[in-house]
Structure 1
Amino acid sequence: MSNDVTLPALGESVTEGTVTRWLKSVGDTVEVDEPLLEVSTDKVDTEIPSPVAGTLNEILAEEDDTVEVGAVLARIGDAGEAPAAESAPAEQSAPAQESAPAQESAPAPQSAPATPAQESAPASAPAQESAPAAASAPAGGGQDVTLPALGESVTEGTVTRWLKSVGDSVEVDEPLLEVSTDKVDTEIPSPVAGTLNEILAEEDDTVEVGAVLARIGEAGAAPAAESAPAEQSAPAPESAPAQESAPAPQSTASQPAQAEPASSPAAEAAAPAAQESAAAPASAPAQESSPAPASAPAPASAPAVAAASTDAGSVEGGGYVTPIVRKLAKERGVDLESISGTGVGGRIRKEDVLEAAEAASKSAPAPASAPASAPAASAPAAEAPKVSELRGTTVKMSRIRKITSDKMMESLHGMAQLTSVVEVDCSKIWALRNKAKNGFQEREGVKLTFLPFFTRAVSEALAEHAFLNASVDGDSIVYHDSVNLSLAVDTPKGLMLPTMYNAEDKTVGDHAKEIADLATRARDGGLKAQDISNGTFSVTNTGSGGTLHDTPIVPSPQVGILATCAIIKRPVVVTGPNGEDVISIRPMVYLPLSYDHRIVDGADAAKFLQTVKKRIEAGAFESEVGL
């Protein structure tokens, strides 16, 4: 008996996904909840687990196929059951058997002593040599490693770091290099076992999906660059001596290339010599010497460049940086070698660079204040505007930016949106946070910001005012039975809305910890499908950037979003101890609420905002922050 593996629902409004990689092959034994494949959607990249234990009998969706939610991806049978797809490979292997003689004879023309074979079949020998290479046969010159599809609409990627060098032995699925795209940073595994013969894409190169990144040959085989000149000159009998002598210059040239950054003058001096030898008459000795300088630098310089780039981007603990972070570090004047990455696997994140830049700016004023006699001279340098590298350029919209754009336009034009605002006195939570923040961070391991106080008050108010914790379904209004807050998070890839489930049942401390966790995983790419689904109301903290006022757009199908703007100390009129009006300096904040006027009236929105206002101004959260 077999069981179908279908594509599950991967988020609200997600209707399809693209198969990016199969983690299991036909005939493999799988356990319950063991990952079977990886799927990419316009909202998340995730793994699909096996619903049952057994044997993978059939794969119905190949890599790069786009399938709809509910479509059958594979079939799993009882453990030990014969795979259903065994007959298909048998049929496909019939033509391969016919070409087997050609593959067997291929090594003969490739070796130097095989000139008789070349003379007897000059027309067919080159064809036999190229056929195994094109088919990536084990006996051929190597198999191409291409850039796979890394998600829907991803057309290119940037090589951030090579994990292997030319000549290294690799195993199947062993990581070869790291690639960064506009949606994901990932490792590219080796499709076969063997030796890395050639690197065709250097670090920081941007390559298209399907482009060849490297070539891998048999374990112990000579690098592909050595055999390339021989293959090109195979029809000519003069190539035999060149083929025999090629390994010697290759082996001697590879070691100086490792130290190329330190001996660049020697390399420059060797370049004219190589050009002179290339311009010499086409004699046999010249043919023997020319392949060495022509072919050796290509594979030999790759590890040198890789080593230099890796050193530039590496930090203690094996951390590395993506081009985006590297550019940010250059703009802020941050030395990457001095940063310890806090991301997955020691990765340096945008936040690490910003924290290092902020720490440097805090320490800078001390020496700058010493020369008190020339304050005017230092001021212009500090205030010099930075020119963006984007000026005058045209760039393609990233996938997340495109999705955000479409959703915002759909929400804005699909409902009657209106914004109401209240002003809130934050004196109580200001004092409470100052009193509790140090002990809270030591106890919980996260900072106590103002946002958890607002999300806690909003959650309580939504439980009372259900008309804002709702959604429109055709001609019906769905009032949700729990408060699932969507929290707007600014990430290097764009805006994301991870979800805090059952927020009304959690304390301020719980809110603080979960907000920090969701924000970190959103920026590091650690969110799963359920983490960005099923939101019933949204909160966006625009005040973190100093915004005084905002009119946020409601994300459909929700009907409300609250913005928490900047808390600013300013003079306000308050009631004195004897009931008189007095002017007092208070930390004040504006709370704009945007809502769908089709089902939420202005009076209802005002009632909700007043409930939030009273809860914040009362500030009775002592027990929830450990006081």
Structure 2
Amino acid sequence: MAKVEVVMPQMGESVMEGTVIEWSKSVGDTVEVDETLLEVATDKVDTEVPSPEAGVLVEILADEGDVIEVGKPIAIIETDADAAGDVSSGSAAEAEEPAEEEAREEEAETQEESAPAAPNSGDEGERIEVQMPQMGESVVEATVIGWNKQVGDKVEEDETLLEISTDKVDSEVPSPASGTLVEILAEENDTIEVGQTIAIIATGEGASASSSSSAATPQKEKKADTAPAQKETQSAAVSSNGTSGGSEPQRVGTDGRFYSPLVRSIAKEEGISQEELENIEGSGQNGRVSKQDILSYVEDKKAGKVSAPVQQKQTAPSGGGLSKPSSGKSSDGSISAGQLDVKHAPSGDVEVIKMDRMRKMIAEHMVKSKQTSAHVTTFADVDVTSMVKWRNANKHAFQEKTGTKLTFTPLFVEAIINAMLEYPLINSSVVEDEIHVKKDINFGLAVALGEGGEGGLIVPVIKKAQEKNLVGLANAVNEVAHKARSKQLSPDDLVGGTITLTNYGSVGNLMGTPIINQPQVAIIGTGVIEKRPVVMEVGGEDVIAIRHMMYLSMSYDHRIIDGAHGGAFLNRIKQILENFDTDRSV
């Protein structure tokens, strides 16, 4: 056929429509196969729509801002150069008679059948779709962190293609087969639904050559041509009073946050400037502004609860430096919204390190925990000499028998579990004005990632830990630690914890005041085990002995755990550790 319809693509099983954000091509433009025609978006993802054929764009059927059902035509491509010769007047789209069109189609089909096969046309092999994997029962989408491979790269089966993340865990996506990466369908920072195709692998020898015209240019580079012009237009549209004047805010703001097409579209319609948008506190992943965030801001603005940031007129001094910002106070001495976010350029002796996704998540989680719970921390000084001697005497036999190294951690976990069985209120959480006491003990272990813990902190969970003996706990501890450090954890491995153990003694610390891992009510900390002189009573007399001592700490939620109850529980752990049975079998 000479005319080819471009339809609104399917962007997920539950997505029934998309919004046209911006056309990259105009009527009359020549387009190549897979060249970007336009950008479309839903409230979940934005994507580029490529041209299905090479030819001329003769008709645009949907304007920017139009909401179109999936499968509906949005443009027409004319693949016959003669027929598309004068698209500006519209005659090319209407001058074709049915008989001539049928004749041309038959001629094209005849030529196609008689034409010799192009080199490598049958060598691409099987095209295998790489789909966004399911990373837990409750996870329906994930965000692309970064691609390890580029279009045209050879990949081996199970070799890492890209890294993805949810709000719970980062994970690597392996290649399902050996071959060549011929298409990348999701950019960095795109949020993609589970099951949606994110790349294509071709298994044939000629995959690289056959895919060169369609996928050799990454999607990022396709956008680069239009970005400068778009930014200039947006900059010019900003009026003196700080409003956008109807222009759409930038895709990535000066604060480094990504703004989805839907959010930008709402901002454009409501006259929200780029500066205003960057002052909205986002509730989404990495602080992204969601649809609800910007709609709430619009309502508050209309109700007079917030005011637009004042555009400060700055005059650059002759030295080329920045002018001194105003105090941010109005004539009555008050400070309006948006005036507190003053960005200072770092001096030459300061290195600026942008927080990665995990560091932001840790920061948000820790601050939220402090704001949620009334933290109290109590300490105990524990004599663990018996436990240390038993472990040192039996660690080799334990490993030979079980194939697992015996560290101190499963011994601590075992003692804490035994104490929790006597103090069930510790295994609970607060839900509004209710206390939910859990039957199973899902034990969380704080695992430091990277050298010296610089890679962040993650808390995998051992489910139903009360059902495991020492061998089972040792296996579970080693397994979750290995999975955490090799990025093999699923989101389900990180949820449901009822208490957490953090071992700050592993880096030589004596004691600490750990922050509760919400929504739990307690976290236990173990300090370094060191030999110290201790006064002991032996046979009715006081003696000084060299003992293996350790500080044990517990932070707990004082909303439901009183000091006496928390102190008694910690003291029970101390008793269990100090009365360790040195005659127990391996």
TM-score by length of 2: 0.48
Give the number of the structure whose residues are more often helix, by fraction: 1
What is the TM-score with the length of structure 1 in the denominator?
A: 0.45
